[in-house]
Structure 1
């Protein structure tokens, strides 16, 4: 799927490849068409628990956290490091990221990321995210 950002045409496959090559994230699915919009890119991502543990061990003793606390730490850290993807998206794009699941079979945290033109309003972005999260759950 192709999307225009500030007069630059971007293919979702190129962004997917860039994410996988330059970050700790694995793209599980290109959700761009599922958004039913022609002006955004959306991906279902996963980041390995081991990667998050390496980052968390610097700040916390993981054994002191309950499973619920650890889950919350994983979600917030996954969203935080996903913001690094911003440096690989086209100029004039904004990100919305939502971690939603600890996939124990894959041993990773699953996220949805939306890459949208900066002129899209926050309310519309949140509505799109709500629809995409419903699709992956």
Structure 2
């Protein structure tokens, strides 16, 4: 899908490929159409829990962690890593990411991420992410 980014047209497939080549995320679904906007890129991305667990092991003893605390750490780190992808996005972009599920069968954290031009504003982009979260599994 093509997205209007300020005065430029961006192919969402190119950004999808960039995310998969330059990060540990796998793009499960292009959600640009689901945003119902012509100026927002959105994806459902997954991150392998084993990658996050390595980072958590450096800071905590996993033996002592409650499952709920571990879940929260996974979610936070997945969101942080998703927001680091902003470096790969076009200039003058803003980004919002929300991890929402630990898929234990696949051992992955699912995250919704959305990118737009700064003119859109953080509040509108946050609303788009909230709407997308309501449409996911």
TM-score category, normalised to shorter length:
over 0.9
- What is the number of equivalent residue pairs in this alignment? 137
Aligned equivalents of 2:7, 2:101: Cα separation in 1: 35
Contact 2:31 2:41 in 1 (8 A): yes
TM-score between the two structures when normalised by the length of structure 1: 0.95
Unaligned runs of 5+ in 2: none
The answer to whether residue 58 in structure 2 is matched with residue 58 in structure 1 is: yes
Task: Give the match for residue 81 of structure 1.
Answer: 81
Task: Give the match for residue 43 of structure 2.
Answer: 43
Shift of 1:117: 1.1
Task: Give the match for residue 111 of structure 1.
Answer: 111
The answer to whether residue 28 in structure 2 is matched with residue 28 in structure 1 is: yes
Give per-residue Cα distances to partners, 1:7-63, cap 9 Å, x unaligned.
332100000000001101000100000110000000000000100011111111111
- Report the more deviating stretch, 101-110 or 122-131: 122-131
Contact 2:94 2:122 in 1 (8 A): no
After TM superposition, list the pairs within 5 Å mapping 1:67-78 onto structure 2: 67-78=67-78
Aligned equivalents of 2:121, 2:84: Cα separation in 1: 22
Give per-residue Cα distances to partners, 1:102-133, cap 9 Å, x unaligned.
01111010000001110112322222111100
Contact 1:41 1:116 in 2 (8 A): yes
The answer to whether residue 101 in structure 2 is matched with residue 101 in structure 1 is: yes
Give per-residue Cα distances to partners, 1:52-106, cap 9 Å, x unaligned.
0111111111111110000000000111111221111101111000000001111
Aligned equivalents of 1:89, 1:121: Cα separation in 2: 16
Alpha carbon RMSD of aligned pairs, Å?
1.0
TM-score between the two structures when normalised by the length of structure 2: 0.95
